[in-house]
Amino acid sequence: MFNLKNLSLAAVASLLVTFYASANAPVTTETASAPKADLAKLLSQFDADKNGSLSKAEVAASNNKTLMENFSSIDFNKDGELSKRELESF
C-alpha cells in the first residue's frame, strides 16, 4: 500500500505547494504599513525637544542604523532634521 518512498514524495509535494502559496500571497496593507508605523513611533520616542522632527543627535540616540546611514538622503529639505513627512516618504 504505502511505502516510505510514496510518503516522502507526498510530504515533499505538500511542502512545495505550501511554499508556493505563501510566496505568492498578496501583501496586505497591515504588512505594507508596518515600517511607517515604526517610524512614527520612533519619532514620538526620540524627539527629545518635542519639535516634531528628529535631529542627527536624536537619530543617533535611537540607534536606528538605517536612519543614521540614510539621514542626508531622507532629509529632503536639507534642514538637518527629519520631519514626519520625510520619514513617511522614506
- The one-letter code for the residue type at 62 is S
Residue 53 pairs in a beta bridge with 83
Enumerate the domain spans of the chain.
33-90
Do the Cβ atoms of 59 and 82 come closer than 8 Å?
A: yes
Q: Is the pTM of this model over 0.95?
A: no
The span from the CA of 34 to the CA of 60, in Å, is 22
Task: Give phi and psi for 49, each to the nearest 5.
Answer: -90, 5
**pLDDT of amino acid 2:** 60
Which class is 33-90 in CATH? mainly alpha
**Picking from 24-28, 59-63, 80-84, which range would have the lowest pLDDT averaged per residue?**
24-28
User: Which tens digit of pLDDT belongs to each residue from 42-80?
Assistant: 888 999 999 999 999 999 998 889 889 999 999 999 999
Query: Distance from CA of residue 31 to its chain's centroid?
Result: 9
Residue 39 half-sphere exposure, CB side, CA atoms within 13 Å? 21
Cell readout for 69 is 546611514
Question: Confidence band (pLDDT; 50, 70, 90) for 31?
Answer: very low
